[in-house]
Structure 1
Amino acid sequence: MARTQGTGEKGDPIIIKKYANRRLYNTDSSKYITLDFLAELTKKDVEFQVVDAKTGEDITHNVLTQIIMDEEANGQNMLPVGFLRQLIALYGDSMQSMVPGFLETSLQNFRQNQKQVQDVIENVITSGPFGDIAKTNIELMRSARDALVPGLAPKKPSNSPKKSDDIDDLKRQMAELQAKIERLNKD
């Protein structure tokens, strides 16, 4: 998956300066930012580089590691203990130089195949006796995800008449509910 280049000159990555007081400064927007902001840029595949403001040293790796540590400490555990132990054991090993490329390629393949896996799981879930209920629930969850985190899901062309009918039906139901609420407020 290709990363989006920053808005710097010639599509260069956005430069973030880290000062001695641990503050991060986005040179592209001329604003101070947080690690959470950098995490969001990462999730949106925006390319950036973090440099030490005093020395100019590239510290992107350290900052990304800090973001992972913060996520893991906040209960968002994604890295199993066994994996972490195996990773630590590879430090200093003759295979250490191969691990970063392997991990990066593996995660890229995982992200590319994620959609296919989701489709297979959805087909398994929706093919049973409660398939229609499962399909409705999946659509509701997707709608909630899209409303709460816009831009997370890939854009799909919406030339499906069934989807348009569903939207029209939902609009009609909302209008009916609004009318009922107004009548209740008048009483």
Structure 2
Amino acid sequence: MWTWHVTFDGDRGADLHALAAAHAPLLDVPGLDVVPAPWLHLTVHGVAFTDEVDDDDVDRVVAAARTRLAALEAFDVQLGPAVLHGGGALLPAAPAEPFHALQRELRAAVADVLGPDRVEGDGAGFRPHVSLAYSNRAWDATALAERVRAVEPAVARVRVSEAQLIRLGRDEHLYRWDAAHPAPLGRSAR
């Protein structure tokens, strides 16, 4: 699937990687698949399955997104503290509004190229977060909650200066991508 993500590789993800590493041993329990550091991401908006768009469409969506994101400022965000639920463990993003603005522009870029009828969902349920672990069967969040709450520091701070259109797959209980097309936020200076 082609989807817009914020990824956290290199220096921009150092705080997040440290926080995820502090949580990893606690979340390495039956029923959870811990997300390795290279695959930490924040999903912003799905575009289409790879067999539904050709390379020219992908290039045009990226170009449209780059044009639209040029009007947005880079922003700082806090991820965490961790929340456990039936779907796994995640770090909510705050403030959420910059991610909503990012999603609106990316959805508009998809509509510009593929048409409004090809834009997935309405965006109303978007809750920006980074998943630390995904559930692969039923598990007991109560048993981990107190230990997870004790992780210090409880939050990571990151700067978001671009979105990435990635070709995403999920094999062996892990989301991975093998192609990334960056779309920088235009006003990325600190």
When the two structures are superposed, what TM-score results if normalisation uses the length of structure 1?
A: 0.19
The structure with more helix, counted as a fraction of residues: 1
Highest CA radius of gyration, 1 or 2? 1
Higher relative contact order at CA 8 Å, sep ≥6: structure 1 or structure 2?
2
The structure with more strand, counted as a fraction of residues: 2
When the two structures are superposed, what TM-score results if normalisation uses the length of structure 2?
A: 0.18
